[in-house]
Structure 1
Amino acid sequence: MDLLIQSEPLTSCVLLLFNQSQKELRRTSAMDTMHEMLEITGPATATLPVGDGCSPITVIGTDPIRQSFGSQTFQQAINSRLAPGVSQVVLNPDAHVGYGAPVGCVMVSPTHVYPGPVGVDIKCSMSLLQTDLPESEITDWKMRRRVIQAIAKRVPTGAGRGQRHVPKSRSVDGPLGFQVATEGASKSVLKKLGIPKSWASRCEDASHTAPDGSVDTLAARLEWMGRERDKRDRLESKFRQLGSYGGGNHFGEAEIVSLSNKQYFRSLGEQWGLRDGCVAFLSHCGSRGFGHDWAMSQFRAMKTHFQSSGLAFPAGDPQLCYAEADSPEGQRYLCDMAMGANFATVNHLLINQLVLESFREVFPGIRGELIYFISHNIARQEPVDGRLQWVHRKGATRALPKGHEQLAGTEFESTGHPILLPGNPRDGSSIMVAQRGASVSAFSVNHGAGRQLSRTKAKKNLNQTVIDQNLLDHDVISNCRVYPRDEAPDAYQDFAEVLKSVTKAGLADEVARLKAKFVLKDGAPADD
């Protein structure tokens, strides 16, 4: 080795390649070891033992999907399972490395709350608006362009953008923003924003309160947070992002609904309000800068608490900081999470109303109804194994079948609720319904296809011309001059294999497939 170090630059390159190959070998070996540890329990289920007398991690996915999980994803799952107070961890088919815990995981605890397995985009969610507009009305690209332009006048896209960037948005001032954050989709909030009151019943949760069940507690905390002028100004600037998409993987898509050819699921879809062969609109976004600020503030506060108290981070990872739910730190986190979640809920409802108004500008008289709104970055207290526990879903979505106690008294009690599962604009998205088998995953499924390429690798390896032409070949247009390479369909897992994982694991069945006709992303407006 000394001789190599003292040699000419060429041999230094050989040494570098040798070291890189050794690192790759160790990484591959670690992945192989993790996969060898899996105990296969079904065609799309497995368990990963973690030792220390803990129940194993549940892994959902067919063999090709499981093979896509890297060693770091498995290690984060193990770290999460061994963290204080955690009783269960599930890896879904879209699992990949996240903030402390993997994206695409479920983490359950009867006593503790973890900000990491919720993430910085609190209550990032999916929603679906169904219209009675037949597919034939948007076959022509010019008509789709007109709708895109109408939406662009009302709904901004991109990080940091808000109402001031578009001429036909809703005006949200400080008092209304305060009400949104503390009340969620209350009748008063919906009336002020011109959103149908009936849509609240189509939300997974229309509003969130403080842990004591009070709105007043949230109001007192928000008032305290805005006591200083600069903080109040920042809050109000975030309020003005209400009714907007962010960047990254956030999107809006016009879809054509194709109901299942199986009569039971077809009838179920019709009962929910889906219309075969008609246009629907699928949205993915969250709590924007408002939720991000709350989440980052809590991460800083909890890390400071750990450091000042001399507590050790689980597996030495500060991103797995936590608090007991009934501690002062835990109560503050739950309050802040609730306000971020309230903002996300109303953000989605307002976007859907603005999108409906946009379609009506081009197609006067069409009707539209919200099918469902469902989140995938939230901690909720739910019954698991006979007791109430905090179910953290990070990039995972709720999946409650018909007859589940949490659906009692809702319109979905006898059917189960819709599960909105985005794939990609080329290969489509899915609407599913949970089955009893979802109990194995804490009544959760994946929130989408999951990445197979990092953003950096996608930008480096995918060809822009191929991406854009591929979408055009599938009759999909967008608001972007060039489609974001890091959001290209090939940056994501094979959606067919992901759906196969869900169905073969017995978690859910498909009710309808969605085919994209146009996409709104964070990008430059397209030419007319």
Structure 2
Amino acid sequence: MNTESLSPHSINVTGEATGFLPAPGSRGKPITVIGTEAIRGSFDAKCLEQAMNSRGAPGVTDLVLNPDAHAGYGAPVGCVLVSPTHVYPGPVGVDIKCSMSLLALDLPADAVADKATRRALINAICERTPTGAGRGQRTARKSRHVSPELGKQLVVEGASRAVCDALGIPPAWAERCEDSAHVGHDHTHAALGLRLERLLAGGALPKFDDKMTQLGSYGGGNHFGECEAVEIGDNDRARKAAETFGLRDGGLAFLSHCGSRGFGHNLASGQFRALQRFFETWGLPLPGQDKELVYAPLGTPEADAYLDDMALGANFATVNHLLINALVLEAFQEIIPGATGRLVYFISHNIARREIVDNREAWVHRKGATRAFPAGHHALRDTPFAETGHPILLPGNPTAGSCVMVAEPGADKSCYSVNHGAGRAKGRKAAIRELDQKTVDDEFITHDILTNCRFYPKDEAPAAYKDFNEVLRSVERAGLAAEVARLRARFVIKDSDESLGGAA
């Protein structure tokens, strides 16, 4: 297929919300496409071209395009790439283990009905969890101090008991994580310790101590914290799943979206540079002639280095989320004495994981895609979610709400994955150019949603994203997952640094 002619019309439709693109040269398994007609129309030529390049790359056996897909770094954001023989940094991205977490609070939604209470909570959270690129503990007077020594420990160990105790994180929360700790290429933490020592000694991690001060912070761009009113679906399955997850109809919850901050970005950027130099030195061909689709065969020193660096960044991201949730709970307890809470789940959407695909071990790369294991999946054995499936946390936008879902058996068609949110409909520059600031801000007033921003970033406005309800309809009609609860925003914590335009 000529990639220059790719368009939504190139997709072969097999159902209301399913279709496929033939693999390059029609060799091998086709690209699986998830999306209704309206969603398929949102895939532009660049997104489809990246999907074709990724599917034709060495060692790739499966490629899935989810309904939130749009052009990204090498591979589309909103895709799943499977390879039993190679690792690809592009289909993980520069924000290693960008993730979602959800904290259930033992409070009714009307506990924050009063605007003054919500404003006080916003201030209390911002005193503990700074926002904005480059910002860390020094800009939040009630944050946790993280020494360089503790930083080295946590990026190697992840959310170990010792790390949780040192940071005031309830150790039981580690049991509510997709992965509470990551190991090195040889399945050990020792490999990560050695890798970290080499990186530090070689000057590959500049300002490491400063990057550790970003622990417990959101950063910029599309990262956020959001206080939610919980609406459980009106059916037995939703109610059963919600009970297992620890969600209560009419209750409060807090949804967070962030990743590995500057530390993960340094690691990922270093890997891209190293692999691109390797390809240039040896004159190796690039998939689709795209330098963002560099790769390494498993078992090579280059693959080992990437897997170790990815694990270091992922461990930072895990502890970052858990600490944010501990600080958010602390802020609620300051404003509403007696409040309690527990982690519902923590799940990534920018990671490569070892999983069993077609009866063999493979690396499943999810870039802007969320794992979706249904009830009875072997990986959920001996977990609280064995009989329901684990929580899937999907951010939509503040006015349309976000969603908690649970996987269906049909998720096998998408390599047990779903989208990671709504997906961008407008690029950042286009959104800033085309959207009206007053209209954006008035929408929040209409929905009685408070924010910490003087002006809500236009490039993060609801209108910059796809129709979330249509995205969810695609997932449900494709038989991948079902809705358990809708989350309605009551207030939003966002990068409020106007000089960054929300795009950091």
Q: Which TM-score applies when normalising by structure 2? A: 0.97
Gap change, CA 1:483 and 1:356, over 3 Å in 2: same
Selected match of 2:170 from 196, 199, 222: 196
The separation in 2 between residues aligned to 1:473 and 1:462, in whole angstroms, is: 17
The separation in 2 between residues aligned to 1:155 and 1:513, in whole angstroms, is: 25
The separation in 1 between residues aligned to 2:39 and 2:132, in whole angstroms, is: 31
Partner of 1:440: 413
Deviations 1:34-62 (A, max 9, x none): 33332111110001112242211000000
> SS at 1:98's partner residue?
coil
Partner of 1:369: 342
Partner of 2:322: 349
> SS at 2:130's partner residue?
coil
The one-letter amino acid of 1:503's match is E
The separation in 2 between residues aligned to 1:501 and 1:517, in whole angstroms, is: 26
**Residue pair 1:479, 1:524 contacting (<8 A) in 2 also:** no
**Residue pair 2:224, 2:258 contacting (<8 A) in 1 also:** yes
Once structures 1 and 2 are overlaid, which stretch shifts more, 419-428 or 230-239? 230-239
Gap change, CA 1:179 and 1:102, over 3 Å in 2: same
The separation in 1 between residues aligned to 2:78 and 2:206, in whole angstroms, is: 35
Partner of 2:77: 103
Once structures 1 and 2 are overlaid, which stretch shifts more, 262-271 or 317-326? 262-271
Gap change, CA 1:110 and 1:233, over 3 Å in 2: closer
The separation in 2 between residues aligned to 1:211 and 1:272, in whole angstroms, is: 32
Partner of 1:92: 66
Partner of 1:252: 225
The separation in 2 between residues aligned to 1:480 and 1:35, in whole angstroms, is: 37
Selected match of 1:520 from 488, 493, 504: 493
Partner of 2:502: none
Deviation at 1:384, TM superposition (A): 0.6
Selected match of 2:142 from 165, 168, 179: 168
> SS at 1:413's partner residue?
coil
**Residue pair 1:104, 1:395 contacting (<8 A) in 2 also:** yes
Selected match of 1:139 from 110, 113, 118: 113
**Residue pair 2:132, 2:497 contacting (<8 A) in 1 also:** no
The separation in 2 between residues aligned to 1:60 and 1:102, in whole angstroms, is: 14
Selected match of 1:465 from 411, 416, 438: 438
The one-letter amino acid of 2:66's match is N
Deviations 1:246-286 (A, max 9, x none): 10000000000010111221122012100111110000000
Selected match of 2:249 from 276, 285, 293: 276
Partner of 1:13: none
The separation in 2 between residues aligned to 1:233 and 1:491, in whole angstroms, is: 34
User: Is 1:187 aligned to residue 161 of structure 2?
Assistant: yes
> SS at 2:201's partner residue?
coil
The one-letter amino acid of 1:165's match is T
Selected match of 1:71 from 17, 21, 45: 45
Gap change, CA 1:43 and 1:175, over 3 Å in 2: same
User: Is 1:304 aligned to residue 277 of structure 2?
Assistant: yes
> SS at 2:41's partner residue?
helix
Partner of 1:129: 103
Structure 1 consecutive aligned stretches of length 4 or more whose deviation exceeds 2 Å: 33-37, 230-233
> SS at 2:353's partner residue?
strand
**Residue pair 2:96, 2:259 contacting (<8 A) in 1 also:** yes
What are the ranges of 5 or more consecutive residues in structure 2 without an aligned counterpart?
499-504
Q: CA RMSD in A?
A: 1.4
User: Is 1:482 aligned to residue 455 of structure 2?
Assistant: yes
User: Is 1:380 aligned to residue 364 of structure 2?
Assistant: no
What are the ranges of 5 or more consecutive residues in structure 1 without an aligned counterpart?
1-26
Deviation at 1:232, TM superposition (A): 6.3
How many pairs were matched up?
496
The one-letter amino acid of 1:512's match is A
**Residue pair 2:244, 2:384 contacting (<8 A) in 1 also:** no
Deviation at 1:405, TM superposition (A): 1.1
Partner of 1:18: none
Deviations 1:80-122 (A, max 9, x none): 0000000010000000000010000000001000000000000
Partner of 1:148: 122
Deviation at 1:517, TM superposition (A): 0.3
Deviation at 1:77, TM superposition (A): 0.2
User: Is 1:419 aligned to residue 396 of structure 2?
Assistant: no
> SS at 1:136's partner residue?
helix
The separation in 1 between residues aligned to 2:42 and 2:247, in whole angstroms, is: 34
Deviations 1:184-210 (A, max 9, x none): 000000000010011001000000000
Gap change, CA 1:221 and 1:275, over 3 Å in 2: same
Deviation at 1:231, TM superposition (A): 5.5
Partner of 1:4: none
Partner of 2:332: 359
The separation in 2 between residues aligned to 1:376 and 1:137, in whole angstroms, is: 31
The separation in 1 between residues aligned to 2:469 and 2:10, in whole angstroms, is: 26
Structure 1 segment 183-262 matched on structure 2, within 5 A: 183-227=157-201, 234-262=207-235
**Residue pair 2:205, 2:267 contacting (<8 A) in 1 also:** no
**Residue pair 1:126, 1:283 contacting (<8 A) in 2 also:** yes
Gap change, CA 1:492 and 1:362, over 3 Å in 2: same
**Residue pair 1:254, 1:281 contacting (<8 A) in 2 also:** yes
The separation in 1 between residues aligned to 2:355 and 2:475, in whole angstroms, is: 22
The separation in 2 between residues aligned to 1:466 and 1:144, in whole angstroms, is: 22
Deviation at 1:411, TM superposition (A): 1.4
**Residue pair 1:481, 1:524 contacting (<8 A) in 2 also:** no
The one-letter amino acid of 1:399's match is A
Partner of 1:81: 55
Structure with higher Rg: it is 1
Gap change, CA 1:231 and 1:382, over 3 Å in 2: closer
Deviation at 1:356, TM superposition (A): 0.2
Selected match of 1:497 from 464, 467, 470: 470
Deviation at 1:524, TM superposition (A): 4.7
